[in-house]
Amino acid sequence: MRKREPKTYTRLTHPLVRDSRDEPLRRASWEEALDRAARGLARGRGAFGMFSCARATNEMNYVAQKFARVVMGTNNVDSCNRTCHAPSVAGLSAAFGSGGGTSSYEEIEHTDVIVMWGSNARFAHPIFFQHALKGIRNGARMYAVDPRRTSTAEWAESWLGLNVGTDIPMAHAIGREIIHAGLANEAFIERATTGFEEYRALVEPWTLSLAEKVTGVPAAAIRQLAHAYARAERAQLCWTLGITEHHNGTDNVRALINLSLLTGHVGRYGSGLQPLRGQNNVQGGGDMGAIPNRLPGFQDLLDPEVRLKFEAAWDAVIQPHYGLNLTEMFEAMEDGSLKAVYCVGENPAQSEADSEQAVRRLRSLDFLVVQDIFLTKTAELADVVLPATAGWAETDGTTTNSERRVQRVRKAVTPPGEAREDIDIICDLAARLGHDWKYADAETVWNELRSVSPDHYGMTYDRLEEHQGIQWPCPSTERLEPTYLHGRLWDPDPAGRGRLAPFGIVQHDPPVDLTDEQYPIRLTTGRRLDSYNTGVQSGGYASPLRRGEYVELCPEDAERYGVVVGERVQVTSRRGSVTAPVWVDTALRPGLAFMTMHFPDEVDTNALTIEANCPIAGAAEFKASAIRIEKLPIATIVG
């Protein structure tokens, strides 16, 4: 089959400006571009939002959130974190007071049971999955919960192919079965949790047979998973976007956390919860305070003492209320209360659900500055485009991975043309707006962060180098903490246990976009091995695995619609319509289709997805749209 190469992007090498909305972008000097950007942002004070970058360094995110809070006086700062794992952070914070995964990669090599829930880590997190494979080779049994029988699921003892959006019924049924089988860890529940009685009542209706009806998975399979998880001495529960990218993503996360509380599979070596983050620094972006409700070090903005500390350190007043998250900022564009945006390294015009709506909203802004390494679809909408460096190869700094490990990134190549480092650009803008920040280098930024974030205090650049990264928390420069979080919950002394972990009382709520006669097929989305997000980075290399975008159907549906591999079909949701060629995948079942978002220039999958957001964390329901497939009047075969 002929490979269709995606659009390749060429690096931005000089600033671009637009003289008026109707004119094209033109080349400009840095001086001119920065002046214009500063003027535009100054006008937008009071209606400003900052999109920080989950792929840039911690140092850049620190400076970006500081720019929003200190220079622009707002907590409206967020990143694409919102589109993926914000529910994980929200759910984990609610249960444990901290938003990170509780375990380390190494621990999964030494665990007994691994549950991969809504996660095709084999494709999306291949090197994490190598650790899981070590665990499997060491004797761990893996269970996979996923609508598709993915490559990950093929490694499982048992794959449970549930209906999209029925994770809470599945989790509740597992919880009920554990309780009824007498497998709940009563000592841990008693010692470390609150709200168990309420939880017991919550899950009581979710019998195995009811769960079978709702999820589509045989009761025996659910029972087996429940028993395996509860009986394991150690168990790891891992999830990815299959859990979070729902309109009730945070509830989903809470439902999974409940299972760990029920069995005591948290706070011990080898037992824990592991949300797998989608971007190289999605963890760090949040840790650095590039989110609307936390200051650097994941410290709550509503805590007056915390605010006081930062106000002293930054010599500025911090707004004593949460800012808008990314989703809310987009809504605020709609109602005109957000007028200026400084977007660093993000591509929301293509990554947001319901992309047509996102573009329309971005167009409605008075002023948009985009700082990126490519002229993305979002940059094309900007008033000023600032050419930046690729964080991972052209700058120094740090990023934080899914196991909370802060690691050094280093400059290996010189950026092209006039492209400049993000931090320098932000500082130049800050200077133009009256804040003369002096950072000699990334390490200076980092040391400022260390001085205000206890969890990072112990991580000097020298120590990061010496240990090949250090996991937070690291409050001391002398020692390292355990690889897992929340060991405190097991402390025999109640005083040492801290805040007990509450069970999440969450209800099943089916996907918003219901299937019906008009839209009979459930479309879910995900990643492929060789491609990444909107394809701007991954489109740059010639992957032999890449075959472009397809709508993937099961063999039975392909036959029902009379379509063959490569044949273009019309794919229509309640929001939009695209044409895409067909691929047939036996991992799917009748009524379930799959697409990725890797080739938006070819097939704009997000024209189909629904912007039904998690009210707590703001992530959208990328994982569940209702579509129909129509054969085109004249068959066109691709490839």
> Contact with another protein (CB under 8 A): which of 126, 320, 494, 639?
126
476 binds another protein (CB under 8 A): no
Cβ closest to another protein, residue 419 vs residue 426: 419
- What is the smallest separation between the CB atom of 634 and another protein, expressed in angstroms? 27
Print the binding letters for residues 212-241 with another protein: x by CB under 8 A, - otherwise.
----xxx-xx--------------------
Please tell me the distance from the alpha carbon of residue 471 to that of residue 469, in angstroms, as a whole number. 7
**Residues within window 295-354 making contact with another protein, judged by CB under 8 A:** none
461 binds another protein, rule: CB under 8 A = no
Q: Binding mask 142-161 vs another protein (x if CB under 8 A, - otherwise)?
A: x------x-xxxxxxxxxxx
Residue 556 touching another protein (CB under 8 A): yes
Cβ-based nearer residue to another protein, 215 or 572? 215
Query: C-beta of 153: minimal distance to another protein in Å?
Result: 7
DSSP 370-408: EEESB--TTGGG-SEEEEB--HHHHS-EEEE-TT-EEEE
On whether the CB atoms of residues 161 and 218 are closer than 8 A, the answer is no
Minimum CB separation of residue 630 from another protein in Å reads 24
- Taking CB under 8 A as the criterion, the residue among 391, 504, 526, 600 binding another protein is 391
Residue 18 as a binder of another protein (CB under 8 A): the answer is no
Are the C-beta atoms of 403 and 108 separated by less than 8 Å?
no
Q: Looking at 4, 35, 94, 130, which residue binds another protein (CB under 8 A)?
A: 130
441 touching another protein, by CB under 8 A:
no
CA 41 to centroid of chain Cα atoms: 28
Q: What distance in Å separates the CA atoms of residue 81 and residue 282, rounded to the nearest whole number?
A: 6
Return the number of the residue (222 or 452) whose C-beta is nearest another protein.
222
**What is the smallest separation between the CB atom of 60 and another protein, expressed in angstroms?**
13
Question: Hey, which residues does 264 pair with through a beta bridge?
Answer: none
Query: Residue 41 and residue 6: Cα distance in Å, rounded?
Result: 34
Map residue 217 onto helix, strand or coil. Answer: coil
Binding residue for another protein, selected from 356, 589, 601, 638, defined by CB under 8 A: 589
| Site for another protein, residues 361 to 380, rule: CB under 8 A | 373-374
Nearer to another protein, 4 or 488 (CB): 488
Residue with tokens 């025996």: 220
Q: Rounded to the nearest whole angstrom, what is the least distance from the CB of residue 152 to another protein in the complex?
A: 8
Nearer to another protein, 589 or 631 (CB): 589
Q: How far is the CB of 266 from another protein (least distance, A)?
A: 12
**35 lines the binding site for another protein (CB under 8 A):** no
What is the smallest separation between the CB atom of 202 and another protein, expressed in angstroms?
A: 25
Local structure of 248: helix, strand or coil: coil
- Alpha-carbon distance of 133 to 116, in angstroms, equals 12
One-character DSSP codes across 268-299 = BTTBEEEEPPSSTTHHHHHHTT-BTTEETTTE
CA distance 527 to 549: 11
We find the least distance from the C-beta atom of residue 132 to another protein, in angstroms, to be: 10
Closest CB to another protein among residues 260, 283: 283
The span of 39-47, 89-97, 359-367, 477-485 binding another protein (CB under 8 A) equals 477-485
Task: Return d(Cα 581, Cα 572) in angstroms, integer.
Answer: 13
Binding to another protein in span 492-551, by CB under 8 A: 492, 496, 529-532, 536-545
Nearer CB in complex with another protein: 328/557 = 557
CB nearer to another protein: pick between 215 and 606: 215
Distance between CA atoms of 294 and 316, rounded to whole angstroms? 16
- For another protein, the binding residues in 161-180 under the rule CB under 8 A are 161
How far apart are the two ends of the chain, measured CA to CA in Å? 5
Taking the least distance from each CB to another protein, the nearer of 424 and 556 is: 556
How many chain residues interact with another protein (CB under 8 A)?
102
| Alpha helices for 453-544 (secondary structure H) | 461-466, 494-497
| DSSP conformation class of 430 | H
Site string for another protein, 50-89 (x = CB under 8 A): -----x----------------------------------
Q: 12: which residues sit within 8 A by CB, 6+ positions away?
A: 372, 373, 374, 375, 379, 385, 387, 388, 417, 419
Give me the phi and psi of 472, to 5 degrees please: -85, 155
Enumerate residues 244-283 that contact another protein by CB under 8 A. 267, 269, 276-283
CA 65 to chain centre: 18
d(CA 130, CA 318) in angstroms, rounded, equals 44
571 in contact with another protein (CB under 8 A)? no
Cα-based distances in Å from 156 to 31, 97, 113, 149, 225: 57, 32, 10, 10, 11
Q: Which of 312, 412, 564, 635 binds another protein (CB under 8 A)?
A: 412
Out of 48, 51, 67, 128, the only residue in the binding site for another protein (CB under 8 A) is 128
